[in-house]
């Protein structure tokens, strides 16, 4: 077991891999990360699958078979993605069972083209969950206004949800509110309230967005401050009277997950966000390159303070520099939806291009 990743695991934070490829499954690489690098879960998104399918021939035979049966490009993609993710879910199943369902999860995202379609998202989440037939597979739904309504209904429907594309404390609280409303409705209906969820806050895109707008002393500080402020809200929520009432009925907390934790600034440490965001009862989903860097030379120091630490002071400095974090959060979420939608269209084009002539 790697000392660096194990120490981070020992803080109470769980490490998930932000990547999946069929080669990773076939070669035993993912199994090795589980055994040696304390990886206890996995996330995916349209960009990850676009790179996996376009950069390999390992999917070609499956694409040809599905195309011969008349499958649409989207239908082929979900067949490929479910094949990979159910294999991954089975690898993590012992962790899932040993943790009582707290850990050992994988995630599959609905089409990003549904980001502003509540009814379509609800239907897609139910269909994908049923097709996967794995208790440790999250369906990812973006935390857009339309997605928030879909999250509440999907939780009520008993579907584990990974809320993606959250960029601020306010985004997180909206997602947490949807989760709690869904759970409360299940309790009122006499249904099991033990439905898992995570809320994924994106970090590094904040710093990339303001790099050209601020002086060097401000670089690579905003994302961490946003995370610290959100962590304070998370700790307050899980100790609130409203949540404790749901917990007493059998509900489990919706854990906070750090996403987009690979450094985008070449002048910064490649383990910057991993070291800065160590925090109990959270998840950090690491790009493969970042995971390997942390395993090689990462350091575990202080964990995030539950009271938000110096976050408000840092954010006030950015306000004085003309950065409106509320407006920027909305912009980043919009850009995130657009980026995943672009990857989705490119993915469909790649699959179409691999169809037999």
User: Among all residues, which ones are annotated catalytic?
Assistant: 140
Rounded-to-integer distance, Cα 34 and Cα 104, Å: 10
Rounded-to-integer distance, Cα 309 and Cα 221, Å: 13
Reading the block at residue 95, the tokens are 């962790």
C-alpha atoms less than 13 angstroms from C-alpha of 36 in its C-beta half-sphere: 11
Contacts of 48 (CB under 8 A, 6+ apart): 18, 19, 20
Reading the block at residue 8, the tokens are 């981070």
**Contact between 124 and 103 (Cβ < 8 Å):** no
CA distances from 236 to 121, 241, 246, 307 (A): 30, 10, 15, 9
Rounded-to-integer distance, Cα 163 and Cα 18, Å: 15
Taken in order 135, 137, 143, 147, the sign of the CA dihedral is negative
Q: Pairing state of beta strands 161-166 and 14-17? A: unpaired
Q: Is 257 helix (H, G, I), strand (E, B) or coil?
A: strand
Rounded-to-integer distance, Cα 80 and Cα 141, Å: 19
**Contact between 163 and 199 (Cβ < 8 Å):** yes
Rounded-to-integer distance, Cα 355 and Cα 357, Å: 6
Show the DSSP H helices in 99-221 as ranges. Answer: 118-132, 145-156, 169-188, 204-210
**Residue whose entry in the numeric block shows the structure tokens 């089975």:** 90
C-beta neighbour count of 98 within 10 angstroms: 12
């Amino acid at each position: 077991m790697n000392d660096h990743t194990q120490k981070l695991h020992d803080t109470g934070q769980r490490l998930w891999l932000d990547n999946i490829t069929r080669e990773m499954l076939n070669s035993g690489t993912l199994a090795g990360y589980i055994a040696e690098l304390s990886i206890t879960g996995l996330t995916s998104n349209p960009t990850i699958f676009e790179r996996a399918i376009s950069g390999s021939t390992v999917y070609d035979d499956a694409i040809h078979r599905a195309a011969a049966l008349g499958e649409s490009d989207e239908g082929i993609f979900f067949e490929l993605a479910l094949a990979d993710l159910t294999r991954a879910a089975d690898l993590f199943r012992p962790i899932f069972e040993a943790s009582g369902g707290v850990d050992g999860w994988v995630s599959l995202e609905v089409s990003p083209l549904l980001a502003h379609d509540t009814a379509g998202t609800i239907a897609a989440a139910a269909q994908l969950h049923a097709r996967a037939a794995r208790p440790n597979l999250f369906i990812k739904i973006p935390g857009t206004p339309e997605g928030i309504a879909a999250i509440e209904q999907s939780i009520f429907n008993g579907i584990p949800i990974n809320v993606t594309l959250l960029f601020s404390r306010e985004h997180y609280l909206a997602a947490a509110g949807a989760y709690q409303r869904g759970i409360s409705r299940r309790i009122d209906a006499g249904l099991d309230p033990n439905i898992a969820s995570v809320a994924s806050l994106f970090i590094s895109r904040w710093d990339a967005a303001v790099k050209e707008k601020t002086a060097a002393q401000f670089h690579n500080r905003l994302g961490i401050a946003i995370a610290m402020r959100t962590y304070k809200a998370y700790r307050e929520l899980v100790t609130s009277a409203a949540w404790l009432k749901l917990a007493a009925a059998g509900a489990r907390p919706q854990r906070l997950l750090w996403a987009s934790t690979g450094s985008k600034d070449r002048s910064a440490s490649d383990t910057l966000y991993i070291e800065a965001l160590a925090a109990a009862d959270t998840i950090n989903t690491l790009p493969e390159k970042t995971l390997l860097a942390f395993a090689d030379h990462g350091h575990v120091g202080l964990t995030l303070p539950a009271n938000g630490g110096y976050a408000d002071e840092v954010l006030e400095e950015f306000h004085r520099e003309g950065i409106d974090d509320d407006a920027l959060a909305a912009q980043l979420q919009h850009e995130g939806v657009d980026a995943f939608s672009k990857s989705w269209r490119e993915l469909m084009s790649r699959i179409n291009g691999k169809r037999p002539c």
